[in-house]
Amino acid sequence: MRMHRRTLLALAVFTGLTAPSMALAADDTIKIGLLATFEGPFTVLGEDSERGAMTAVAEMNGTVAGKKIEIVKGSSDASPDSAVRAARKLVEQDGVKVLVGPLSGDEGLAVKDYAKTQPNVTFINGTSAAQDTTLRDPAENFFRFSTDGAQWMAGLGTYAFKDKGYKKVATVAEDYSFPYTQVFGFMAEFCKAGGHVPSKSWVPIGNKDFSSVIAAIPEDVDAIYVALGGADAVNFLTQYQQGGGSAPLIGGSITVDQTVLTSKGKLRDVLKGTPSAGPTADTNDAPAWKTFVEAYKKQPGAFPSPSLFAHGYYVDMKATLLGLDQVGGDVSDGGKKLRDALSKLSFDTPTGKVSLDKNRNAIADIFLTEVTEGADGNLMNKLVKVVPQVNQTLGIPEDEFMKLGAVNRDNPSCP
């Protein structure tokens, strides 16, 4: 029996080791949680989002209202469960009162639900862009200074129909809430202009073999609208090109993002000339954007131009810091003052003015772009047009917009 007594004594000690080590923040520092995808299929995107957030922190010289900023990182793998688990750890164990994140659509929906159970913590979105994170059943303490996926598509549907002359478009997108939102944003305009979408393919995140999807794309479409992210986009485009596909592409916001454009190989030729829309444009001439790009490039491992994840996390982190600055870094009242400040906040970002609507979702400029090869050989998104101050209902009156119904795989439809 001696062995067992000792085994279990050790066990008891071991359990004792796990006793609380509640980290107490010193008065002169302020803790901000940073939740992004540091693992799984969106790792590259998550790492760039961190660069964006850190650019905002560096801009403030690492202090806000005289307090040192301490960033506590949490990692998810783009699944809602992992995002909530990481958020719980940041809030309940590390004791952050302000949390910036998450990155991906369904994560945002899940973190919003979690936010409702933590009314004293202020949640500021990262880049998650599902519509219903803020549109339907929003959380009082969840703010989105980056716009949603439907807003990002502003102007693209009309451009594809009128300027490019595409009448029939097939869509290929990942099977979760963010691409639903993107397809919704594209089709809202494209269908209204008179276009048709005969085939919509939804593929799981992390899909490797796209042959069945490629085979299912109708022969007679004028273009393919692709809303895939990171490795998924590279895999699909490579296989489509190897399979002899030649239809022109229309890109979702993260499909022709720097995370994809920096990939090597023949893929580059396929991507050239692809129209897209999103919250950023690489060839934006605005001085504020150029300053931001220079600041971003100081971050280790930076891309030639910041991805929209770097941009989104930058904007949201910047808003967070501006809000904290206004309240003197004081969140001891459960963040009430901070949330009031954030609701009223309106500031100039590298991509124009950003303010919030009544659901705490951003109203901001959107950029219509086309992929071109820059002078240095890097692929870039060339700015075609700026769509100013797009709101969440895409300029449609709210009650009319709500009647369009919640985004999902089947809504909207115009075969």
Partner 1 sequence: MSLTIATGTTPQQNWLERLGAGHIILAVALVLYPLVASDFFLTQIGGYSLVFGMLGLSLMLLAGYGGMVSLAQITVAGIAAYAIAILGNNNSNILGFGWPWWLAVPFAVLAAALASALIGWISVRTEGIYTIMITLAIATATYYFAQQNYAIFNGHSGYAGIRAPAFWGISWRDPRPFYYLCLGLAVLSYAAVLYGSRSTFGMTLQAIRDNPRRMRALGYHVTAHKVFAWALAGVIAGLAGVLLVWFNGRVSPGTIGVDAAIDVLIIAVIGGLRHPIGPFLGAVVVVLMQTFAIDIVGAERFNTLIGMVFLVIVFVSPDGILGLWGRIKPHLAQESLRPGP
If one asks whether residue 359 binds partner 1 (CB under 8 A), the answer comes out as: no
Nearer to partner 1, 85 or 385 (CB): 85
Q: How far is the CB of 39 from partner 1 (least distance, A)?
A: 6
Listed ranges 15-23, 191-199, 221-229, 371-379: which one lies at the site for partner 1 (CB under 8 A): 15-23
Nearer to partner 1, 9 or 402 (CB): 9
Within 220-249, which residues bind partner 1 (CB under 8 A)? none
Nearer to partner 1, 14 or 347 (CB): 14
If one asks whether residue 10 binds partner 1 (CB under 8 A), the answer comes out as: yes
**Which of 51, 57, 75, 323 contacts partner 1 by CB under 8 A?**
75
CA distances from 138 to 125, 235, 298, 340, 368 (A): 12, 35, 36, 16, 28
Nearer to partner 1, 272 or 409 (CB): 409
Nearer to partner 1, 74 or 312 (CB): 74
What is the pairing mode between strands 223-227 and 249-251? parallel
If one asks whether residue 77 binds partner 1 (CB under 8 A), the answer comes out as: yes
SS3 assignment for the chain: CHHHHHHHHHHHHHHHHCCCCCCCCCCCEEEEEEEECCCCCCHHHHHHHHHHHHHHHHHCCCEECCEEEEEEEEECCCCHHHHHHHHHHHHHHCCCCEEECCCCHHHHHHHHHHHHCCCCCEEECCCCCCHHHCCCCCCCCEEECCCCHHHHCCCHHHHHHHHCCCCEEEEEEECCHHHHHHHHHHHHHHHHHCCECCCEEEECCCCCCCHHHHHHCCCCCCEEEEECCHHHHHHHHHHHHHCCCCCCEEECCCCCCHHHHCCCCCHHHHHCCCEEEECCCCCCCCHHHHHHHHHHHCCCCCCCCCCHHHHHHHHHHHHHHHHHHHCCCCCCCCCHHHHHHHHHCEEEECCEEEEECCCCEEEEEEEEEEEEECCCCCEEEEEEEEEEEECCCCCCCHHHHHHCCCCECCECCCC
Nearer to partner 1, 6 or 298 (CB): 6
If one asks whether residue 167 binds partner 1 (CB under 8 A), the answer comes out as: no
Nearer to partner 1, 288 or 406 (CB): 406
If one asks whether residue 11 binds partner 1 (CB under 8 A), the answer comes out as: yes
Binding mask 128-147 for partner 1 (x = CB under 8 A): --------------------
**Which of 45, 53, 57, 84 contacts partner 1 by CB under 8 A?**
84
**Which of 81, 163, 340, 348 contacts partner 1 by CB under 8 A?**
81
If one asks whether residue 216 binds partner 1 (CB under 8 A), the answer comes out as: no
Nearer to partner 1, 87 or 383 (CB): 87
If one asks whether residue 119 binds partner 1 (CB under 8 A), the answer comes out as: no
Within 172-201, which residues bind partner 1 (CB under 8 A)? 175-177
Binding mask 85-114 for partner 1 (x = CB under 8 A): x--xx--xx------------x--xx--x-
Number of amino acids touching partner 1 (CB under 8 A): 49
Give 241: exposed, middle or buried? Use CB within 10 Å, 0-12, 13-18, 19+.
middle
Within 246-285, which residues bind partner 1 (CB under 8 A)? none
> Which positions touch partner 1 (CB under 8 A)?
1-12, 14-16, 18-20, 22, 36, 38-39, 46-47, 50, 73-75, 77, 79-82, 84-85, 88-89, 92-93, 106, 109-110, 113, 175-177, 204-205, 409
